[in-house]
Amino acid sequence: MTTPSVLIVDDEADIRELIEITLTRMGLRTDAAATLSEARAKLTQQRYDVCITDMRLPDGNGISLVAYIQEHSPQTPVAVITAYGSAEAAVESLKAGAFDFVSKPVDVGMLRKLVDTALKLRGAEQPTDTAPQLLGEHQSVRQLRALIDRLSRSQAPVHISGESGTGKELVARLIHLRGPRASGPFVPVNCGAIPSELMESEFFGHLKGSFTGAHRDKAGLFQAAEGGTLFLDEVAELPLHMQVKLLRALQERTVRPVGAETELAVNVRIISATHSDLNALVEQGRFRQDLYYRLNVIEVRTPALRERPGDIPQLARHILVHLAQTLDLPEIPRLEDDAIDALQNYPFPGNVRELENILERAMTLCDNGHIHRSDLQLRSPSTAIAGHGLGQQIEDIERQAIRDALVKTRYNKTRAAELLGMSFRSLRYRIKKLGLDEE
């Protein structure tokens, strides 16, 4: 592989020199330009692996160069140098298609990490057959797959909106796996599941003795995601005091562990998601507008299952294959025509997650591996929508019933399955899915 080349565009000679020295020491070849027109001329003469440009140039701005490269050399990632504290300029550059940004004064360590990440795009591996897939042939799904491929080549914060059960975490994982951070960690966190008083410690870590119960140093979620992606699910659940701290971490790219006197630089891509309307929460004063703009640089919407009924047969077959493998069944259950027709006319308030639950139940009820409409036990449309919020309560009831059966049979799973009226394999699967095997 040839030596990677970087084009540096800045009218300040000292900044150009600093960047050139830094990148040369990394073993890279560099070219420099002082103006927008000079940069365009060099780009017509050869292809660069990375471009780093200042936002302000004598004959234009960095955004114009980003747009030019997007049109003429879309495979070249562009990083924009912005003025210190200019969050608006950084967001503007990312929206225009910049790979990333770096603030003045240029931090050499952060610059190295940025360029390293950008260069990984050259050898980014395609996902394997075992990688998760976004299934479906509806136009909305095709467009979503294309958008995922495009976003995987950027470091811009992405916000994923959509109803519960539409695969928001799957989309986040695919963006991570298809990009230069694929070899780094993907750290998902449900913001609504962390107690408010523990949030700062969970996100940023803490030092031993910094508060009662802090018996040792602990790294936070940002440190755990170093070099990879931090997925903030249900970000709308963050309390206001934590929204302020998260905003600072995103802007400064540093975190301060509880009890620490100094900040730590972090190299993390942020992807967030929620089923709530963040715009409405901003208007109600329940979500900070500045954090909203910072997270929502690029918005992605996951389509509801009822919007793409033609995809249901393919999704159902995929789910049945997975369930059969999990339960170690000799044959994959067959979904009969009347069952497919019923599923395609069902509103699915719980989307793909609800489809999984329906098929799992049908596998237990069906005869000889053939699933008919009656095995699905679908609720009426109005009942289904009204009862959607009961899903968690139903799981809690099922979890307690299994616990009681295990206690009565002294944890003999075969007898517990008989007591519950299900097969041993089904009980084993439900224990794993409900998290009872971790208790």
Of 83-87, 148-152, 178-182, the poorest mean pLDDT is in 83-87
Q: What is the pLDDT of residue 328?
A: 81
Q: 202: domain range?
A: 139-301
Q: Do 155 and 228 belong to one domain?
A: yes
Q: Do 252 and 314 belong to one domain?
A: no
Q: What is the pLDDT of residue 21?
A: 95
Q: Do 71 and 177 belong to one domain?
A: no
Q: What is the pLDDT of residue 121?
A: 85
Percentage of residues in the chain having pLDDT higher than 70:
93
Greatest Cα pair distance, the chain, in angstroms, is 80
Q: Which residues pair with 230 in a beta bridge?
A: 187, 270
Q: What is the pLDDT of residue 144?
A: 96
Q: Is 358 part of any domain?
A: yes
pLDDT classification of 398: cutoffs 50, 70, 90: confident
Query: What digits encode the pLDDT tens for the residues 1-59?
Result: 589 999 999 999 999 999 999 999 999 999 999 999 999 999 999 999 999 999 999 99
Nearest to 303 by CA among 83, 60, 134: 134
- What is the spatial distance between Cα 343 and Cα 354, in angstroms, rounded to a whole number? 11
CATH number at residue 174: 3.40.50.300
Query: In this model, does residue 419 exceed pLDDT 70?
Result: yes
Q: Do 191 and 282 belong to one domain?
A: yes
Tokens representing residue 107 in the block: 């931090």
Q: Is 86 part of any domain?
A: yes
Q: Decide: 94 and 297 in contact? Cβ < 8 Å.
A: yes
- What is the spatial distance between Cα 122 and Cα 251, in angstroms, rounded to a whole number? 27
- What is the spatial distance between Cα 199 and Cα 167, in angstroms, rounded to a whole number? 25
Q: Do 375 and 412 belong to one domain?
A: no
Q: What is the pLDDT of residue 123?
A: 62
Q: Do 168 and 238 belong to one domain?
A: yes
Quote the number of domains for the chain: 4
CATH number at residue 416: 1.10.10.60
Q: What is the pLDDT of residue 400?
A: 81
Q: Do 92 and 208 belong to one domain?
A: no
Nearest to 26 by CA among 98, 117, 96, 91: 117
Q: Decide: 219 and 176 in contact? Cβ < 8 Å.
A: no
Query: In this model, does residue 386 exceed pLDDT 70?
Result: no
Mean pLDDT, all residues of the chain: 89
Q: Is 125 part of any domain?
A: no
Residue where one domain finishes, among candidates 59, 85, 119: 119
Query: What digits encode the pLDDT tens for the residues 159-169?
Result: 999 999 999 99
Q: What is the pLDDT of residue 157?
A: 93
Residue where one domain finishes, among candidates 91, 119, 147: 119
Residue where one domain finishes, among candidates 119, 148, 179: 119
Q: Over 390-415, what HEC string results? A: HHHHHHHHHHHHHHHHHHHCCCCHHH
Q: Do 238 and 210 belong to one domain?
A: yes
- What is the spatial distance between Cα 301 and Cα 214, in angstroms, rounded to a whole number? 40
Q: Read off the pLDDT of each residue in 59-80 and give the average, rounded to a whole number.
A: 92
Q: What is the pLDDT of residue 351?
A: 94
Q: Is 133 part of any domain?
A: no
Tokens representing residue 204 in the block: 């940023």
Q: Is 128 part of any domain?
A: no
DSSP characters for 199-246?
HHHHHH-B-TTSSTT--S-B--HHHHTTTSEEEEETGGGS-HHHHHHH
CATH number at residue 351: 1.10.8.60
Q: Do 85 and 187 belong to one domain?
A: no
Q: Is 60 part of any domain?
A: yes
Q: Do 175 and 286 belong to one domain?
A: yes
Q: Read off the pLDDT of each residue in 268-296 and give the average, rounded to a whole number.
A: 93
Which amino acid is residue 25, in one-letter code?
Answer: R
Q: Do 13 and 112 belong to one domain?
A: yes
Q: Decide: 117 and 131 in contact? Cβ < 8 Å.
A: no
Query: In this model, does residue 387 exceed pLDDT 70?
Result: no
Q: What is the pLDDT of residue 344?
A: 95
- What is the spatial distance between Cα 291 and Cα 364, in angstroms, rounded to a whole number? 46
Q: Decide: 211 and 258 in contact? Cβ < 8 Å.
A: yes
Q: Do 261 and 403 belong to one domain?
A: no
